[in-house]
Structure formats: structure tokens, C-alpha cells
Structure 1
Amino acid sequence: MSEIRELNLDNSRSTTIEGLTDEFVNLESLSMINVGLTSLKNFQKLPNLKRLELSDNRISGGLQLLAGSPKLQQLTLSGNKIKDLETLEPLKDYHNLKSLDLFNCEVTNIENYRQKVFELIPSLKYLDGYDKDEKEAEDSEAEDEEEVELS
């Protein structure tokens, strides 16, 4: 398990996270698109996780459960049940988070949504694929190399 760096569980139908243990210590990329997840309960400590894809699930909260992944840089939550800024509050503590995708989530309907999310999460460079100035994100492969040191 410790040598696995990338794991794709897309379309594997489950309302809860199962089988993902803390033995995946070197996992850097995890994709669970369209699984049917309703929560992040049982999300394990994944200390090297940089990219997490959770699109098209039914997650409505619990983002504090990602705290065991301090290197997280890219989080995709598009097509989930995230309705308000309070739900996103835990993300402000993820100092390496550079890219967040909330496309097709109810929270995007809030007035001045983009400005508020950028204020809430200071480390964020890209929201829904665009920076603060509405410039489209470049391919993020080069971004992966730089990490913020926690003081």
C-alpha cells in the first residue's frame, strides 16, 4: 500500500468511504468522482495527498475531516451539495490549498461568492479554474512542485 501514489475509485458506488486506510502514506492523488458519497466520514490521514477529486457526489460538509492531508493543493468538489460559506470554513487552515473547484454547487449562487471564497481561503490561487482576476488557470502540473512551508 505504501508505494501507491495515485488511486482512482471513480464510479465505485458507495455512500461512505471504505477500504481507504492510513497505510496509503505516499498517496498523492485520489479520485472518487461519482461514487455517491454523502460524507467524508472515515477519511484517513493521508499526509502526502496533494490532489483530491470528489466531483459529483452528495457531500454537504465535513471538510475538517481532510485535516490529515496538510499538503492538499487541489480540491475538486464540483457537483456536490455545498450550500454555504460556513461549510468551506475549515479550508482556510489548509495552507497549501491552491485550487478549489465548486462548480455546480449551490454555494456559487451566493452574492460576491468568488470574492468571499478568496478572502476566506488566503492560500487559494484558483477558484473554479480562474484566479482572482478571472484569468484561467494554466495546467497545474508545474504548480505541484512548490509547497508552502508552515511556520
Structure 2
Amino acid sequence: MEMEKWIHLELRNRTPSDVKELILDNCWSHDGKIEGLTDEFEELEFLSTINVGLSSVANLPKLNKLKKLELSDNRISGGLLVLAEKCPNLTHLNLSGNTIQDLSTIDLLKKLENLKSLDLFNCEVTSLNDYRENVFPLLPQLTYLDGHDPDEEEAPDSDAEGYVEVLEDDEEDEDEEGYNDGEVGDEEDEDEVGEEEKGQKRKREPEDGEMKTTK
């Protein structure tokens, strides 16, 4: 599906200013550019455009509140300077699986003063000698590169864990409600069956008595 149509569906009768998270993964962009996204999405904090055929981020609108941008598995090779102008408060940027080949392309990200995490997995630039040792000095604001800090310590995935915990809690609540409802229903059924059995016994006992007296 085309990106512009997908955005329309994602809105679900909301206004763009109501949207804080927008996932456009696996839709398609004409001419390798972002389409249908405007600066009306002024509250947007998370944008994901994984595998949408992007070759450029030039059409990205002004998104002052955007913090996390997913651009994995596209065809982006440069033009990253625009990110500092359009998304000045970006903290997490994922460019994994793009066609970034040299450090000069990455150097353009130094104007993203709030950038803490950068992912470049499966980009050609990662095969350069002393890749990690060179990137951290280029981008001194970075805390994590490809999920690890300069000492190779893994980044805590606190946001993802929190999201999973919320989902798990919701599922547990639903299961508990369903379980409790089932228990109540079973008890009611058992009570009904018990009453029926008692009634049948009460009915049978006199019959047995009558048969005995008849004999």
C-alpha cells in the first residue's frame, strides 16, 4: 500500500496533532521519498518507516517533538544533514540496513545534539577499520552505537521492556478476568446441578417409601 494511503488509515478519524506514534513499515513510497506526512503531526514522538523503499529523507516535515526515528532496511546513502533541521530533538536513530558507506555521511549527524543512540547494523560503513573507535569521537553526544557504549556494554532496552510489561499485564488481567468469570459460571452450574439432584432425590425418596409400604 502507498505511504500516503497508509497514513490516512493510521489516523482512524484522528487529527494529525493527536498522533504521538506512527508506524508505516512495509508500505511503499513513490520516488523513494516520504509522502503524506506533514508538519501537522506536531506531537509525533516516534516514527517508523522500515522497508518502505526510502532513498532520501529530504521530504521529512518539521517534527520538533520527534525522539525516535526508525529508517531501517531502506536505500538511504546520504542527505542526513536535514535531520538536524527537521528533528532537532531526536534521541534515537536507526539506519540499519541502508547503503551508508563512509564516515563523512555519519559526521553530518553531529548537529543532532540530543542524539544518544545510533544503529548502523548491516551498513557498509561498519566494515571499515576502527569503525567504532572513529564514530564516537565524530559524534561525542552518542551514548550507544549499534546497541553498545564505548566500553562494549550493552544498552538497556528499558523502553521496549516497559512496553512488553504493559502488554503482559493487560493479558494477565484479561486471563484472570476470564478465569474468574469461568469459576463463577462453574460454581453456578454446579449449584444448579446440585439443586436438581437434591430435587430428584426428594422426589424419589417418597416413591421408594410407597413401594415399600405397598409390599
Judge same fold: TM > 0.5, yes or no. yes
Q: How does 1:1-20 map to 2 (within 5 A)?
A: 1-14=16-29, 15-20=32-37
Supply the distance in 2 between the matched residues of 1:125 and 1:115 (Cα, whole angstroms).
Answer: 13
Which segments of structure 1 move beyond 6 Å, counting only runs of 4 or more? none
Supply the distance in 2 between the matched residues of 1:16 and 1:70 (Cα, whole angstroms).
Answer: 20
Aligned-residue CA RMSD (Å): 1.1
Alpha-carbon displacement from aligned partner over 1:64-98 (angstroms, at most 9, x marks no partner) = 11122111000000000000011111211111100
1:60 equivalent to 2:66? Answer no
More helix as a share of residues: 2
Supply the distance in 2 between the matched residues of 1:3 and 1:86 (Cα, whole angstroms).
Answer: 37
Which residue matches 2:57? 40
Q: Identify which of 81, 84, 87 aligns with 2:102.
A: 84
Alpha-carbon displacement from aligned partner over 1:91-150 (angstroms, at most 9, x marks no partner) = 1111110000000000001111001110001110000000000011101439xxxxxxxx
Counting matched residue pairs gives 142
Secondary structure (helix, strand or coil) at the match of 1:56 reads coil
Supply the distance in 1 between the matched residues of 2:158 and 2:34 (Cα, whole angstroms).
Answer: 27
Q: With the length of structure 1 as denominator, give the TM-score of the two structures.
A: 0.91
Q: With the length of structure 2 as denominator, give the TM-score of the two structures.
A: 0.64
Supply the distance in 1 between the matched residues of 2:117 and 2:92 (Cα, whole angstroms).
Answer: 5
If asked which structure has higher relative contact order (CA below 8 Å, sep 6+), I would say 1
Which entry has the higher C-alpha Rg, 1 or 2? 2
1:113 equivalent to 2:128? Answer no
